């Protein structure tokens, strides 16, 4: 089993990942405002040694029953030491072991944020957990958008053979060209989406709505796919609020939203804040940004993410 990346990657400065977390929190908050009692939910995730998503889930949503999974025995000790809240249960378990033992006793948000690339275990986890997901539950999966190390040096035809053999029907209509490094995140998206659709195909209590599909990159490309098992009435109310508050998201299940990375100074960010919030088509801030080499498409992308982009400060001691 692979080591936890928390042992050798610093997660302090990951603006794209933090942006994704904040968007997800806003999505859950929106569902809580219209149809679902989110503060009563439990949360199952992978907090590693910093528990960022756990902190946000409690601070902004009021969730106070949580489980963090850690399969690496050495990282497990650090996770227990760094556990910020008494109500977080840190378990030394892989996702498959947890799913086998899991029995639903209250509404739950699952976020399996895997360290590595797409592999058969992820597909098995989605298939195994789906029958245990209850109406109103949320389920998200994140995987690396790069080819797994096993096939990294394979030819494109050999990559395709591996994907078709390992992912079987979930490989769908993928071609060798889809498995080029540059296009591999799209292949991961298609595989995950297909896995969710297949896993929940026989659900009779509502329908699993795959509304959260995000690609981001801090150091490597990551892909998140997920949604919730909702009744038609729950989905109607939720979808309307989602479209009104987060119009950059789409209900098109074949489309993924890419979080753009912004490498800005504080002075540049102040200009972006003004340019993105003015109602005028032309403004002094937008003109100034144009002179600095920024394009209108970057300002539009910044407008989408304005509420979610983190700010970091440097402290010299």
Tell me the three-class secondary structure of 236-305, residue by residue.
Answer: HHHHHHHHHHCCCCCCCCCCCEECCCCCCCHHHHHHHHHHHHCCCCCCHHHHHHHHCCCCHHHHHHHHHH
C-alpha span between 210 and 192 (Å, rounded): 10
Does the pLDDT at position 130 exceed 90? Answer: yes
pLDDT in the model for residue 38 = 96
Apex CA 245: angle with CA 241 and CA 246, to 5°? 110
Does the pLDDT at position 255 exceed 60? Answer: yes
Q: Which residues, 6 or more positions from 50, have their beta carbon under 8 angstroms from its beta carbon?
A: 6, 11, 12, 82
pLDDT in the model for residue 270 = 96
Given a contact cutoff of 8 angstroms between Cβ atoms, the answer to whether 308 and 19 are in contact is yes
pLDDT in the model for residue 10 = 47
pLDDT digits (tens, 9 = 90+) for 290-314: 999 999 999 999 999 999 999 887 6
Q: How confident is the model at residue 2 (pLDDT cuts 50, 70, 90)?
A: low
Q: Tell me the helices (H) and strands (E) count for the chain, helix number first.
A: 11, 8
Provide mean pLDDT across the span 51-79: 96
pLDDT in the model for residue 179 = 97
pTM value > 0.95 = no
Phi first, then psi: give them for residue 140, nearest 5 degrees: -125, 145
SS3 65: coil
SS3 175: coil
pLDDT in the model for residue 251 = 62
C-alpha span between 49 and 97 (Å, rounded): 20
% the chain with pLDDT above 70: 93
Does the pLDDT at position 261 exceed 80? Answer: yes
Q: For the chain, what is the mean pLDDT?
A: 91
Provide mean pLDDT across the span 61-76: 95
Provide mean pLDDT across the span 233-239: 92
Strands 66-69 and 257-258: unpaired
Half-sphere exposure (CA, 13 Å, Cβ side) for 197? 13
Residue 47: enclosing H or E segment and its boundaries? none
Does the pLDDT at position 192 exceed 60? Answer: yes
When mean pLDDT is compared across 53-57, 143-147, 255-259, the lowest value belongs to: 255-259
pLDDT in the model for residue 5 = 54
Cα dihedral value 19, 25, 26, 27, nearest 10: 110
DSSP 190-244: HHHHHHHHHHTTT--SSEEEEEEEEEEESSSEEEEEEEEEE-HHHHHHHHHHHHH
Q: Which of 217, 161, 167, 175 is nearest to 191 (CA)?
A: 167
Provide mean pLDDT across the span 62-76: 95
Q: Which of 24, 41, 29, 19 is nearest to 238 (CA)?
A: 29
Pick left, alpha or beta for residue 206 (phi over 0 → left; psi -120 to 50 → alpha; otherwise beta): left
pLDDT in the model for residue 316 = 66
% the chain with pLDDT above 90: 79
| Residue 250: C-alpha distances to residues 132, 145, 247, 274, 284 (Å) | 27, 21, 7, 26, 31
C-alpha span between 136 and 207 (Å, rounded): 10
pLDDT in the model for residue 1 = 47
Does the pLDDT at position 97 exceed 80? Answer: yes
């Amino acid at each position: 089993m692979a080591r936890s990346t928390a042992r050798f990657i610093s997660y302090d400065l990951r603006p794209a990942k933090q942006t994704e977390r904040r968007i997800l929190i806003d999505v859950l908050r929106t569902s809580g405002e219209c149809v679902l009692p989110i503060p009563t939910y439990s949360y199952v995730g992978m907090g590693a040694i910093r528990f960022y998503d756990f902190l946000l889930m409690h601070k902004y949503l009021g969730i106070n029953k949580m489980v963090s999974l850690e399969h690496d025995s050495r990282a497990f000790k650090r996770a227990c030491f760094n556990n910020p809240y008494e109500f977080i249960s840190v378990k030394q378990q892989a996702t498959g072991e947890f799913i086998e033992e899991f029995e639903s006793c209250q509404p739950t948000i699952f976020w399996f944020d895997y360290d590595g690339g797409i592999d058969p275990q992820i597909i098995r986890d989605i298939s195994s957990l789906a029958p245990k997901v209850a109406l109103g539950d949320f389920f998200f999966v994140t995987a690396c958008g790069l080819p797994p190390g096993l096939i990294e040096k394979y030819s494109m035809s050999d990559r395709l053979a591996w994907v078709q053999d390992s992912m079987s029907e979930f490989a769908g209509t993928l071609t060798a060209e889809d498995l080029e490094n540059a296009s591999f995140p799209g292949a991961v998206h298609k595989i995950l989406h297909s896995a969710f659709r297949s896993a929940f195909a026989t659900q009779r209590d509502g329908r699993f709505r795959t509304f959260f599909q995000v690609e981001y990159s801090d150091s490597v490309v990551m892909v998140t796919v997920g949604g919730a098992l909702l009744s038609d009435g729950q989905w109607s109310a939720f979808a309307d609020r989602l479209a009104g508050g987060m119009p950059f998201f789409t209900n098109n299940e074949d489309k993924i939203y890419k979080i753009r990375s912004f490498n800005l100074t504080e002075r540049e960010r102040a200009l972006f804040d003004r340019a993105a919030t003015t109602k005028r088509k032309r403004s002094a801030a937008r003109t100034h940004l144009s002179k600095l080499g920024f394009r209108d498409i970057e300002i539009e992308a910044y407008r989408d993410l304005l509420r979610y982009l983190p700010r970091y400060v440097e402290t010299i001691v």
